[in-house]
Amino acid sequence: MAPGAEWGVHRPGSHGGGCREQEGQRQRGQAKPTWGLSRAKKRLLWRFFLSAFGFLGLYHYRLRILRRIEASIPMDVCPTATMPLPQDNFTGVLRHRARPEVPTCTSWGAPIIWDGTFDPHVPEQKARRQNLTIGLTVFAVGRYLEKYLEHFLASAEQHFMVGQNVVYYVFTDRPEAVPYVALGRGRLLRVKPVQRERRWQDVSMARMPTLHEALGGQLGQEADYVFCLDVDQYFTGNFGPEVLGDSVAQLHAWHYRWPRWLLPYERNKRSAAALSLGEGDFYYHAAVFGGSVAALLKLTAHCAAGQQLDRERGVEARWHDESHLNKFFWLSKPSKLLSPEFCWTEEIDWRTEIHHPRLLWAPKEYRLVRN
C-alpha cells in the first residue's frame, strides 16, 4: 500500500508592464540574466524541468502507452546451461521449459513459480500426506475491516489451500465487527485484538512486531507454514501448496520488469532499510510473504528491529515495512519466489506472461480507509 506523490512546477509569470520594461532594457543592452544565466540557457533549463516533471507525472499516473513500453523490456531467463533444474519441497522439479519467456529461477537457485511450470496435484498430495496446517494472517484495522475483510475471507475459503488445514488470524482493533464467514472442514478463524494507531503508516509498521509475537505464541505452535497478506485484495484462482517453502517472497506486479537501478528501494543511508545502487535482486511486495515459522520469526525480528532503529534515528523508510522486507531478502535470500500471477492488479494493462492471476488487488480507496 504505497502512497502517491504529487509533483508541482511553478513558473513565474510576467505582466504586460514588466514585459515592456524588459523590452526597453534589451533595447538599451542593460538586461541582467536571472540566476546568472542568459535568457537562452534559462529557456533550455525550463524545458528540461518541464519535460522531466511531465514524464514523471505521466509515469506516476500510469498512462497505457508507458506501460506498453515497459512490457517490451526483456526479462532474464533461467541459466539452465549452468544450473540444475530448480526444485523445492512441494512442487518437485519445475517444468521451466514450459515458460521460456520468463525467469523460472534466480541466480542463487531458488525457483520462481509461474503458471504452467508445475503439476498442481503434486504439491497438494505432498501437503496432505504431511497433514500440514497453514496459517493465513491479515490485518483489518479501522475502515479496512468493513471495506475489505469479508470479501477477502470469503474468497480465501474458495481458493486458499483448498482441502488443507487452515487457521486464519485476523488482527483488528474491533473484534466484535469481524463478519461471519462459513468455514470448511479443518479450517478455523481466530480474532486477535490490536491497538488502533494514529497514522496508517504506523498501522503498517506495527505489523512486523505483532506478527513476531504471534509466531512466538499460539500461531507458531499450531501452524507449520504461515502466509501474511494484506486485506485489500481477494483470491481469484487456486492458491495452493505450490507456494509453500521455507522463505517465500512475492515479485511486485508494478516492478518485476524494471532494471535494478530503477527499483524503489530505500536510499536514505540513515535508514536501516537502505540499499545502495549496487544492491538488491528483485523488488518484493509486502502484500504477500510467507514461509516456515522459524524463517518468519527471523524475518519479522529483522524488520521490527530495523523499524525501531529508524525511530531512534528520527527517520522513516519510504515504503515502511516493505522497505525493511526488501532489505531482509537481500541479506537472506528467499528459497522460493512467486510470480506476479500470485498478486496482480488489473490497473496494469494485459500482459502476455500473466496467464491466470491467483490474487487481485481490490480498488485502493485510500481517501476513505485512511481517513
Tell me the sheet residues that pair with 250: 338
Cα(126)–Cα(92) distance, rounded to whole angstroms? 10
Q: How many CB atoms lie under 10 A from the CB of residue 158?
A: 14
Query: Which entry of 124, 266, 316, 322 is annotated as an active-site residue?
Result: 322
Q: Is 341 among the catalytic positions?
A: no
Separation of alpha carbons 84 and 78, rounded Å: 10
Partners of residue 190 on adjacent β-strands: 169
Strand order in the sheet with 165-172: 112-113, 336-338, 247-251, 284-292, 225-229, 133-139, 165-172, 187-193
H/E run at residue 154: helix 150-159
Q: What is the 3-state secondary structure (H, E, C) of 26-93?
A: HHHCCCCCHHHCCHHHHHHHHHHHHHHHHHHHHHHCCCHHHHHHHHCCCCCCCCCCCCCCCEECCCEE
**CA distance linking residue 360 with residue 233, whole number of Å:** 5
Q: Which residues are catalytic?
A: 322
